[in-house]
A = this chain, B = another copy of it.
Amino acid sequence: MPMRTILYAGITANGHYGDSDAGQMPKQEKLNDLFNHAKEAGNIVMGRRTYEIFGADDSFAGLDVVVVSSKASFEGVQTATSLQEMLHYLKKKGYEQAFVIGGVTLHNALLIEGLFDELFINVEPYLAKGLNLGPTDSKITDLELVGHKHIGAGIVQIHYRMA
């Protein structure tokens, strides 16, 4: 069975990528949902900055954590210097899913390369300025709606797969 790459992202109601610098930290309902997905996958993949924000506590116990970073490696954590290296590492370990939680640089790299199979977009109930989620070129990628649900705290999660 080929491994599926899953992007898990949050946007504001007006479509901007959540920016933890802007002071809106993830709500507990979203973290619970995120870790349920991660446990199902057995792994959790993130960029360097996301790891620096998230990685300090025990949230990731029992998960195969992979940090994608061309610049830094972190003690006791698997670092991949490219998307391909990250995917290769997880495939080799036999995972059925690679679960990628961001941030925006890593998500955009996967979107631009077309290296994803499913998307979970969490639409959060506030309006704010923020970052842009890809693509950055003029390509249009059709998606198939798999489902939508309220995961709590006013967050609507929309699930897509590549059409």
Contact = CB atoms under 8 A, between A and B. Distances in A.
Contacts of A50: none
A121 B15 CA distance: 9
A133 B24 CA distance: 18
* Number of copies of chain A assembled together: 2
Interface in A127-148: 127-129, 132-145, 148
B125 A144 contact: yes
Contacts of A125: 142-145, 160, 163
A36 B90 CA distance: 48
Contacts of A145: 125, 150, 154-156
A81 interface: no
A99 interface: no
